[in-house]
Amino acid sequence: MKGTMRGKLMYSGAGAGLLLFAVFGLLRGSFLGGVMGLSIAGTLLGYPVDDGIAARMIVAVSMLVGVMVTGLLFTVAGATLGWAAGYIVDAARAAALKDAVKAEKH
């Protein structure tokens, strides 16, 4: 797969996904993870959430998880779209080559 367009476009798509994650997903992942962490801390420690070390650790870990999941989603989605585009290009090339060989025989 290394020499095919699938592999090349898969890596390009993963890079584009990382770039989009850095621009759009990093802050949103942090926000969503923080809100999720506040909800978990409130459920475990009671509302209103105080500023103790346990609540801060829960929020920090959930923010980190939110950023990691968002990065994974962006990267996998970009790589999948790149692989699909490469698969289409490889299929079109194979069909064109098949037609050329068929035309050459006749």
DSSP state letter for 47: S
Residue 95 has a pLDDT of 85
Mean pLDDT, rounded, of the chain: 90
Residue whose tokens read 């959930």: 62
C-alpha dihedral, 67 to 69 to 72 to 78, nearest 10°: -90
Which tens digits make up the pLDDT trace of 41-70?
A: 999 998 888 888 999 999 999 999 999 999
Is the predicted pLDDT of residue 1 greater than 60, yes or no? no
- What φ, ψ does residue 51 adopt, rounded to 5°? -100, 35
Global pTM value: 0.80
Residue 21 has a pLDDT of 94
Q: pLDDT tier at 24 (50, 70, 90 boundaries)?
A: very high
Q: Is 83 within 8 Å of 15 (Cβ atoms)?
A: no
